[in-house]
Amino acid sequence: MQTDLAAQSEPKKSIIHTRYGFLTVIGILLMITILSAGAAVSFGQVDIPVSQSYRILLHHITGIQIGDIQELTSGSFVDIIWKIRFPRVLMAMFIGAGLTLCGTIMQAAVQNPLADPYILGISSGASLGATFAILIGFGSMGLLGQTGVAFWAFAGAVGASLLVLILASAGGKMTSVKLVLAGMVINALCTAFANFIVYFANNAEGIKTVTFWTMGSLAAASWDKLPLISVAVLAAIFFFLMQFRVLNAMLLGDEAAVTLGIHLGAFRKAYMMITALITGVMVASCGMIGFVGLIIPHLVRGLVGSDHRRLLPTSVLFGAIFLIWTDVIARTIVPNVELPIGIITALIGAPMFMYMLIKKGYAFGGKN
């Protein structure tokens, strides 16, 4: 097993060899992200010309007027774009960036190519919290009001992460293997308790809500929910961009990091808590969206290598673009029906991961 870990931890070489080439890629991805955010608001049950969408957004964001002022400030198209679709697109952008960031950090911290933002039982903890709120009724009671489900989902996610860290630290030094195993245990426990609640619940509508929530959806996106998510994700991105040296050392393993004077145990705990908090915020807002944090980092490593100074910014932009267009597919692929976005990410992500596993091996098949 140590041989496998060492093999998968070897830095992957970048096909982009110069600083200029890397900056060019980042510039292109930024442009694609901006253009995607503007174009995505045009698609839905009501189709809107892309040119008109860009003009409406440009006027609302910058005040620049291109065309009839009445067309830019009032009417059903303006309401659909500015009040409904644009907050949703921004939510998709931040959620995609955040999930990819957390997946990249997890894969480095636990030295496991199968790691994603939910590896510490965060998803099952959030699911237990949301199930508790929806089916037992605490989601609409007390001072929490309509935010009750989000609160309990966040509390469940953070609580599960804390249990994993405590369990992984018991009996000696916390290691990447103990983290993964502790995550599996807590995941199983939380899933069992959530299923217990669902089994005895006599609430068909509540069970349907729980099912939809566990598949992920951006339908509840609104302007008032964006500040928390955007600030949390941007702060996490800035923080981890400053940590690229430690993240690179994690790829070499604990023994090599010690020789470099880096205490990986302390950093690993800090990174786990930060990613747990960020993931808890995202899961509480849109449910569980799988495969984003698992697939995107692998794709990007093939482009820019495993150096986190390049990997992190490229990954978050790829993740943002991916989820923007995945959400477009989720709300347009079936007429008059919106599919949970988690279904689409799984349908896209699973075949992609199988292809990468067969093609590149990732130290599982004896080739790298």
What is the reported pLDDT for 250?
Answer: 86
Q: Measured between alpha carbons, how far is residue 178 from residues 9, 93, 185, 248, 252 in Å?
A: 18, 33, 11, 21, 18
Beta strand segments in 82-192, E:
none
Q: Decide: residue 352, CB within 10 A, 0-12 exposed, 13-18 middle, 19+ buried.
A: middle
Q: From CA 292, how far away is CA 100, in angstroms rounded? A: 6
Contact yes or no for 330/339 (Cβ under 8 A): yes
What is the reported pLDDT for 366?
Answer: 40
Report residues of the chain scoring pLDDT below 70: 1-17, 137-147, 360-368
What is the reported pLDDT for 321?
Answer: 97
Most distant CA pair in the chain: distance in Å? 70
- Which residue, among 30, 38, 45, 29, has the nearest Cα to 86 in the 3D structure? 38
Contact residues for 201 (Cβ-Cβ < 8 A; gap 6+):
135, 207
Q: What single letter denotes the amino acid at residue 117? A: P
Residue 145 main-chain phi, psi, to 5 deg: 55, -135
Cα 92–chain centre separation: 9
- Which residue, among 353, 352, 311, has the nearest Cα to 100 in the 3D structure? 311
**3-state secondary structure (DSSP) of residue 200:** helix
Buried b (16+ CB within 10 A) or exposed e, 165-201: bebbbeeeebbbebbbebbeebbebbbebbeebbeee
Structure tokens at 298: 């692998």
- Which residue, among 293, 289, 279, 292, has the nearest Cα to 159 in the 3D structure? 279
- Give pLDDT tens digits for 11-53: 555 666 678 888 899 999 999 999 999 999 999 888 899 999 9
Structure tokens at 144: 């929490």
- Write down all domains in the chain, each with its CATH number in brackets: 2-360 (1.10.3470.10)
Around Cβ 222, how many Cβ atoms within 10 Å?
11
pTM of the model: 0.86
- Give pLDDT tens digits for 208-227: 778 777 888 898 888 998 99
Cα 156–chain centre separation: 17
